[in-house]
């Protein structure tokens, strides 16, 4: 009997020892990522403004900008695009290998790391996340990105820390697909997913304890209409060069500030510590008291936004909108579009609209996109003579008052719509109006409320020309597929084409299809260079200018490394720290 | 006091009627080398210190580093010239090129500076006054004639007609007119010429505001109808129309003119408000409202004070009309 007890005790001791050893091993095996930034100091709070209030912290439903700004600080992705180098880097996946045919990707996950509620992370969470995103009934925005162009993705767990992704066809930018597709905690969301209530989960009123992620911060509290505060995630998986666990900051507060100007004022007075999207006018204004107020502003050069003039080339106007259909005869004439392009003074636009903090554009890729810019695109200066020649050769004539008429004697006049809330684009429209007046073309500028503007351009097609802009989330051409493919949802000038309406659209279709399966970068670049050439020649959109990305921060904010990729400033929020004054 | 007001208002209206002649430049002309140029300084003393009897100006050199910062180029003086030939405009149907004053090329004179496109604020102020002040006049005329018609019919005939019309008036008074205007503007077609836009604006403002004068005029007509001499005339067999024209409507003159003096500035303000909100005449046609609209941007408000000029001109206009209204009210309504 006594021996039995002794045996049991020995056994217990052994088991406890083994368990203890195992926990210790697990803790030691926590595979953290080491960052290379300056070693900082703990503590402090960062305040930043948002133009609207975040609506949700749910990665599956967050589609508005403010929600994403907050949500991405609390979550992490498998492979991340480094916003500064514009290349992919390991995140939750510490490494990955692709099969030779480019159809299979094996991602090895970091071991031993934990969600912000302390629960461990492993392959089950990854498989669960992708099951959710790819589920048709969930309607997640990630699904559109992942399965765009009939790409079928299957996700399998190979072992607790390896996940295998299988693609139906090769994708040159497959690694980049993982960026911003965050890993969800299975233990918290599985039930909601099976109940079909995932869409309602994780609102801002959800108790912070029920929300967790792998990001550097986690929700602390939310005061409706005022602010959202995040606190440091003690389980975060990055350390600095001296193995101090990141992030340094204790808290981030997101303040709701209604307008662009108000944001600038709050930053100027010191209420907020960082400002991400300054316009050039406010930049000039704020630059005046940089010294006295203790902040620094930075001009990062042109971002990925391209502003352009769009002519309505949609086919469905015939019969329905006779007046527009009549004018489309001019818009479809490539020489007319080339004449308009030649008559626009892009350098004046950059100087007056962006106060010199921008760059003139002749095709869609901006100088900020170093990997993909076709530097051989010609950049002709404004030439009214060339514009007149083009118009003349296309059969346009001028009457005795100098007004332009077409071969039927109809005067050439049209309207340009733009969103009234965007004063810079309105200004571009007004300058184009004046430039075209010199060719004898009468243009009227119509400011529209943003929603009705968008409705006209994308739904009813009840417009003649428009000034608008598109911003790329990434430098890669793949997210641009929906703009350039004739079947694309953002193929703005002619939406819903059954087949390419013109030979050059057909060529763009082919090039875009080809580039996506071409795995070698120089060959891909050649294909996309050709797309840019076609855009510059055929002018489906007349690219005009790209504004610089202008940001600012308090002087003593360490590791502040803004980049031209969204979100510009807070992409390395875990490394930010306050230097002692 | 009232004399000063009348003289002031006449001067202002005279100035805007002669806008083409008085303004040195075309209001839509963009001088893109001079965005946000400050008001040009008139000099009498040159670089050598000698005094000139006639004002001259210096050209501006834009600063190479900073947007909208300029330095005077003292190397060349441009005397202000009178009756120069310049941009084409039409005055009372005649096509003219003569301007009151101007500067030889390549100099520029911007008495009130320029806006973000380099357009001369002084010229825009004069041309913009045309839209704003005329909109006030026409809209007031429109709403007063509507008010007069409804008010006199209602007051004179009384009974069921009166009841119906007055309920309609109350309906109009209770209407949130700003939102109504937003709604009306939203229904209009996209592509309308500035002239059409102007008349639509005037008609909309005018038809919305007839209710108050209609009520006031009804009151006057109601009491005038019972006067002894009106009753006498009626006894002699005068027709309704004769009575209204000869005996009753002249009684409403005081109310009519006072209302006019009150409504005109109100409608000027309505035009300014609507254009400020982007609902009035569109670019590049100036109006005081759309000129002030740019002040919604913080950097303009903070950096370029001359952009406030249209707001400053509104002050004497309002003062003038207010003085006029007080005078008319005292003289015509209680005077006899």
Task: Give the residue on A whose Cα is nearest the Cα of B300.
Answer: A281
Check residue B135 and give left, alpha or beta (phi > 0: left; psi -120 to 50: alpha): alpha
pLDDT of amino acid A199 = 87
How confident is the model over B244-263, as pLDDT tens digits?
888 888 888 888 888 888 88
Residue A39 CA to chain centroid, in angstroms? 29
Does B68 contact A444 at a Cβ distance shorter than 8 Å?
no
pLDDT of amino acid A2 = 56
* CB distance A309 to A432 below 8 Å: yes
Whether residue B85 lies within 8 A of chain A, CB to CB, comes out as: no
pLDDT of amino acid A388 = 96
Mutate to test the interface with B, among A263, A269, A327, A348 (most CBs of B within 10 A): A348
Confidence of residue A21 (pLDDT cuts 50, 70, 90): low
Dist. CA A226–CA B205, nearest whole Å: 39
Dist. CA A307–CA A359, nearest whole Å: 11
pLDDT above 90: percentage of residues in chain A:
69
Which of B28, B32, B299 lies closest to A282 in CB terms? B299
B299: distance to nearest CA of chain A, Å?
6
Q: What domains are there in chain A, each with its CATH number? A: 76-195 (3.90.76.10), 204-302+549-578 (3.40.190.10), 305-548 (3.10.105.10)
Q: Residue B48 above 90 pLDDT?
A: no
Q: Which of A354-368, A535-549, B293-307 has the lowest mean pLDDT?
A: B293-307
Q: Residue A20 above 70 pLDDT?
A: no
Please list the residues that pair with B61 across neighbouring strands: B71
pLDDT above 70: percentage of residues in chain A:
94
Which of B28, B193, B278 lies closest to A420 in CB terms? B278
* CB distance B57 to B107 below 8 Å: yes
Dist. CA A494–CA A318, nearest whole Å: 13
Task: Give the residue on A whose Cα is nearest the Cα of B64.
Answer: A356
User: Which residues of chain A are within 8 Å of residue B35 when distances are taken between CB atoms?
Assistant: 351-352
* CB distance B275 to B181 below 8 Å: no
Please list the residues that pair with B189 across neighbouring strands: none
Cα torsion through A448, B119, B269, B185, rounded to 10? -20
Q: Residue B335 above 50 pLDDT?
A: no
Average pLDDT value for chain A: 90
* CB distance B258 to B321 below 8 Å: no
Task: Give the residue on B whose Cα is nearest the Cα of A428.
Answer: B117
Dist. CA B188–CA B209, nearest whole Å: 20
Does B297 contact A261 at a Cβ distance shorter than 8 Å?
yes
Q: Residue A161 above 90 pLDDT?
A: yes
Does B30 contact A431 at a Cβ distance shorter than 8 Å?
yes
Q: Residue B157 above 90 pLDDT?
A: no
pLDDT average, residue stretch A469-489: 88
Whether residue B190 lies within 8 A of chain A, CB to CB, comes out as: yes
pLDDT above 90: percentage of residues in chain B:
21
Dist. CA B59–CA B40, nearest whole Å: 9
Sequence-distant (6+) residues with CB within 8 A of B143 are B205, B206, B207, B208, B209, B210, B213, B263, B267
pLDDT of amino acid A534 = 96
More confident residue, A259 or A250: A250
Confidence of residue A498 (pLDDT cuts 50, 70, 90): confident
Sequence-distant (6+) residues with CB within 8 A of A531 are A477, A484, A508, A511, A512, A515
Token pair 């000698």: residue = B50
Q: Residue A533 above 90 pLDDT?
A: yes
User: At A86, is the secondary structure helix, strand, or coil?
Assistant: coil
How confident is the model over B260-318, as pLDDT tens digits?
888 899 888 888 888 887 777 777 889 998 899 888 888 888 889 999 999 999 999 99
Task: Give the residue on A whose Cα is nearest the Cα of B194.
Answer: A444
User: Which residues of chain B are within 8 Å of residue A265 when distances are taken between CB atoms?
Assistant: 298
Element containing residue A97 per DSSP (H, E): strand A93-98
In B75-176, which ranges are continuous DSSP H helix? 121-157, 159-173
How confident is the model over A393-436, as pLDDT tens digits?
999 999 998 999 998 889 999 999 999 888 899 999 999 999 99
Please list the residues that pair with A307 across neighbouring strands: A469, A545
Task: Give the residue on B whose Cα is nearest the Cα of A278.
Answer: B299
How confident is the model over A433-458, as pLDDT tens digits?
999 999 999 998 888 888 889 999 99
Spatial CA neighbour of A414 closest among A399, A400, A433, A397:
A433
Angle at the Cα of A74 (from A70 to A78), degrees rounded to 5? 120
User: Which residues of chain B are within 8 Å of residue A462 when distances are taken between CB atoms?
Assistant: 190
User: Which residues of chain A are within 8 Å of residue B284 when distances are taken between CB atoms?
Assistant: 430, 433-434
Calculate Rg over the CA atoms of chain B. Answer: 25
pLDDT average, residue stretch A61-84: 92
Q: Which of A110-119, A319-328, A554-563 has the lowest mean pLDDT?
A: A319-328
Average pLDDT value for chain B: 86
User: Which residues of chain B are within 8 Å of residue A261 when distances are taken between CB atoms?
Assistant: 297-299
User: Which residues of chain A are within 8 Å of residue B190 when distances are taken between CB atoms?
Assistant: 415, 417, 446, 462-463
User: Which residues of chain B are within 8 Å of residue A425 when distances are taken between CB atoms?
Assistant: none
* CB distance A236 to A245 below 8 Å: yes
Residue B118 is encoded by which pair of tokens?
A: 């380099």
User: Which residues of chain B are within 8 Å of residue A463 when distances are taken between CB atoms?
Assistant: 190
* CB distance A144 to A36 below 8 Å: no
Q: Which of A404-408, B69-73, B187-191, B273-277 has the lowest mean pLDDT?
A: B187-191
User: Which residues of chain A are within 8 Å of residue B186 when distances are taken between CB atoms?
Assistant: 452
Cβ burial, residue A384 (10 Å; 0-12/13-18/19+):
middle
Which of A265, A417, A463 lies closest to B298 in CB terms? A265
More confident residue, A394 or B329: A394
* CB distance B57 to B77 below 8 Å: yes
Element containing residue B17 per DSSP (H, E): helix B2-17
Whether residue B229 lies within 8 A of chain A, CB to CB, comes out as: no
Confidence of residue A18 (pLDDT cuts 50, 70, 90): low
DSSP string for residues in A290-350: HHHHTEEEEEEEE-SEEEEEEE---GGGTTTSHHHHHHHHHHT-HHHHHHHHHH--HHHHH
How confident is the model over B5-16, as pLDDT tens digits?
999 999 999 998
Does A434 contact B28 at a Cβ distance shorter than 8 Å?
yes
Number of C-alpha atoms within 13 angstroms, CB side, residue B50?
Answer: 4
Which of B117, B282, B299 lies closest to A285 in CB terms? B299
* CB distance A442 to A286 below 8 Å: no
Spatial CA neighbour of A467 closest among A532, A542, A537, A414:
A542
Mutate to test the interface with A, among B30, B88, B294 (most CBs of A within 10 A): B30
A228: distance to nearest CA of chain B, Å?
26
pLDDT of amino acid A131 = 92
User: Which residues of chain A are within 8 Å of residue B191 when distances are taken between CB atoms?
Assistant: 414-415, 444, 446, 464
pLDDT of amino acid A144 = 72
Does A431 contact B284 at a Cβ distance shorter than 8 Å?
no
Does B297 contact A281 at a Cβ distance shorter than 8 Å?
yes
Which of A281, A348, A444 lies closest to B299 in CB terms? A281
Q: Residue B187 above 90 pLDDT?
A: no
pTM exceeds 0.95, yes or no: no
Whether residue B295 lies within 8 A of chain A, CB to CB, comes out as: no
Which of A265, A284, A452 lies closest to B67 in CB terms? A284
B170: distance to nearest CA of chain A, Å?
32
Dist. CA B335–CA B329, nearest whole Å: 8
User: At A259, is the secondary structure helix, strand, or coil?
Assistant: coil
Does A285 contact B116 at a Cβ distance shorter than 8 Å?
no
The total of other beta-carbon atoms located within 10 Å of residue A512's CB is 22
Sequence-distant (6+) residues with CB within 8 A of A516 are A149, A171, A172, A173, A478, A481
Mutate to test the interface with B, among A424, A434, A436, A443 (most CBs of B within 10 A): A434
Could you give the C-alpha distances from A539 to A311, A328, A331, A368, A522, in angstroms and in order?
10, 15, 10, 21, 25
Does B32 contact A462 at a Cβ distance shorter than 8 Å?
no
Spatial CA neighbour of B40 closest among B14, B19, B71, B13:
B71
Whether residue B283 lies within 8 A of chain A, CB to CB, comes out as: yes
Q: Residue B336 above 50 pLDDT?
A: no
Does A430 contact B32 at a Cβ distance shorter than 8 Å?
no
Dist. CA A569–CA A575, nearest whole Å: 12
Could you give the C-alpha distances from A13 to A2, A8, A16, A356, in angstroms and in order?
16, 8, 5, 75
Sequence-distant (6+) residues with CB within 8 A of B228 are none
Q: Residue B177 above 80 pLDDT?
A: no
**Phi, psi for A405 (deg, rounded to 5):** -130, 155
pLDDT average, residue stretch A552-570: 93
SS3 content of chain B, % helix, strand, coil (to 5): 60, 15, 25
B57: distance to nearest CA of chain A, Å?
25
Dist. CA A117–CA A371, nearest whole Å: 39
Confidence of residue B334 (pLDDT cuts 50, 70, 90): low
Q: Which residues of A166-180 are buried (b: 16+ CB within 10 A; e: fewer)?
A: ebeebbbbbbbbbbb
């Amino acid at each position: 009997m006594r021996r039995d007890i002794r045996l049991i005790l020995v056994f217990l001791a052994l088991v406890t020892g083994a368990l203890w050893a195992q926990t210790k091993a697990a803790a030691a095996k926590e595979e953290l990522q080491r960052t290379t930034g300056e070693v900082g100091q703990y503590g402090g709070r960062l305040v930043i403004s948002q133009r609207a209030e975040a609506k949700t912290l749910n990665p599956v439903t967050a589609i508005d900008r403010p929600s994403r700004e907050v949500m991405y600080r609390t979550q992490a992705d498998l492979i991340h695009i480094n916003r500064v180098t514009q290349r992919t880097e390991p995140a939750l996946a510490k490494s990955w290998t692709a099969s030779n045919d480019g159809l299979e990707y094996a991602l090895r996950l970091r071991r031993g790391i934990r969600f912000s509620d302390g629960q461990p992370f492993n392959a089950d969470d990854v498989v669960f996340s992708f099951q959710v995103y790819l589920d048709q009934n969930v309607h997640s925005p990630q699904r559109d990105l992942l399965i765009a162009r009939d790409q079928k993705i299957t996700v399998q767990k190979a072992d607790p820390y390896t996940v295998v992704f299988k693609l139906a066809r090769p994708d040159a930018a497959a690694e980049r697909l993982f960026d911003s597709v965050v890993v969800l905690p299975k233990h918290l969301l599985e039930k909601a997913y099976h109940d079909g209530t995932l869409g309602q989960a994780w609102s801002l009123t959800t108790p912070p304890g029920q929300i967790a992620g792998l990001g550097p911060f986690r929700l602390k509290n939310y005061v409706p209409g005022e602010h959202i505060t995040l606190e440091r995630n003690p389980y975060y998986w990055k350390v600095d060069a001296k193995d101090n666990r990141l992030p340094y900051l204790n808290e981030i507060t997101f303040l709701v500030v209604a307008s662009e100007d108000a944001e600038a004022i709050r930053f100027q007075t010191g209420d907020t510590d960082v400002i991400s999207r300054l316009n050039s006018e406010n930049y000039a204004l704020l630059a005046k008291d940089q010294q006295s107020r203790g902040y620094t502003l930075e001009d990062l050069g042109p971002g990925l936004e391209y502003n352009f003039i769009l002519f309505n080339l949609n086919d469905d106007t015939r019969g329905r909108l006779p007046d527009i259909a009549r004018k489309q005869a001019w818009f479809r004439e490539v020489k007319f579009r080339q004449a308009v392009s030649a008559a626009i003074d892009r350098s004046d636009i950059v100087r007056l609209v962006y106060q010199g903090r921008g760059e003139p554009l002749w095709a869609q890729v901006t100088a900020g996109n170093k990997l993909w810019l076709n530097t051989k695109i010609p950049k002709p200066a404004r030439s009214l003579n060339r514009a007149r020649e083009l118009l003349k050769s296309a059969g346009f004539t001028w009457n005795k008052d100098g007004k332009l008429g077409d071969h039927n004697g109809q005067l050439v006049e049209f309207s340009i719509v733009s969103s009234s809330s965007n004063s810079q684009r309105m200004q571009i429209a007004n300058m184009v109006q004046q430039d075209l007046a010199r060719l004898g073309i009468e243009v009227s500028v119509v400011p529209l409320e943003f929603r009705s503007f968008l409705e006209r351009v994308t739904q009813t097609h009840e417009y003649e020309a428009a000034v608008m802009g598109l911003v790329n989330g990434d430098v890669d051409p793949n997210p641009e597929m929906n703009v350039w493919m004739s079947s694309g949802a953002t193929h703005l000038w002619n939406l819903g084409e059954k087949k390419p309406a013109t030979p050059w659209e057909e060529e763009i279709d082919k090039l875009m299809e080809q580039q996506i399966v071409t795995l070698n970068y120089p060959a891909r670049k050649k294909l996309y260079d050709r797309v840019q050439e076609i855009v510059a020649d055929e002018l489906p959109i007349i690219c005009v200018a790209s504004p610089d990305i202008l940001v600012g921060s308090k002087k003593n904010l360490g590791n502040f490394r803004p980049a031209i990729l969204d979100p510009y400033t807070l992409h390395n929020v875990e490394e930010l720290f306050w230097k002692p004054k | 006091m009232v004399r000063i007001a009348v003289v002031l208002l006449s001067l202002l209206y005279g100035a805007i009627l002669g806008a083409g002649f008085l303004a040195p430049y075309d209001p839509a002309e963009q001088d893109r080398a001079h965005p946000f140029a400050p008001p040009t300084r008139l000099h009498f003393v040159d670089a050598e210190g000698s005094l000139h009897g006639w004002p001259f100006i210096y050209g501006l050199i834009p600063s190479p580093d900073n947007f909208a910062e300029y330095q005077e180029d003292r190397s060349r003086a441009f005397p202000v010239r009178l009756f120069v030939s310049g941009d084409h405009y039409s005055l009372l149907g005649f096509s003219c090129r003569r301007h009151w004053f101007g500067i030889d090329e390549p100099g520029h004179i911007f008495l009130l500076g320029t806006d973000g496109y380099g357009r001369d604020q002084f010229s825009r102020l004069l041309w913009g006054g045309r839209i704003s002040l005329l909109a006030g006049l026409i809209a007031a005329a429109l709403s007063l004639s509507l008010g007069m018609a409804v008010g006199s019919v209602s007051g004179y005939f009384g009974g069921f007609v009166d009841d119906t019309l007055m309920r309609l008036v109350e309906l109009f008074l209770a209407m949130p007119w700003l939102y109504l205007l937003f709604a009306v503007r939203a229904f209009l077609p996209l592509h309308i010429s500035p002239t059409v836009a102007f008349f639509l604006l005037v008609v909309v403002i005018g038809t919305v505001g007839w209710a108050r004068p209609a009520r006031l005029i009804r009151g006057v007509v109601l009491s005038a109808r019972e006067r002894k001499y009106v009753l006498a005339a009626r006894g002699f067999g005068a027709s309704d129309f004769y009575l209204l024209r000869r005996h009753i409507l002249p009684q409403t003159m005081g109310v009519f003119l006072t209302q006019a003096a009150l409504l005109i500035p109100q409608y000027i303000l309505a035009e300014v408000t609507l254009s400020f909100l982007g609902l009035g005449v569109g670019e590049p046609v100036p109006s005081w409202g759309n000129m002030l609209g740019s002040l919604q941007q913080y950097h303009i408000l903070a950096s370029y004070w001359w952009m406030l000029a249209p707001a400053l001109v509104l002050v004497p206009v309002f003062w003038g009309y207010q003085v006029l209204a007080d005078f008319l009210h005292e003289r015509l309504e209680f005077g006899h």
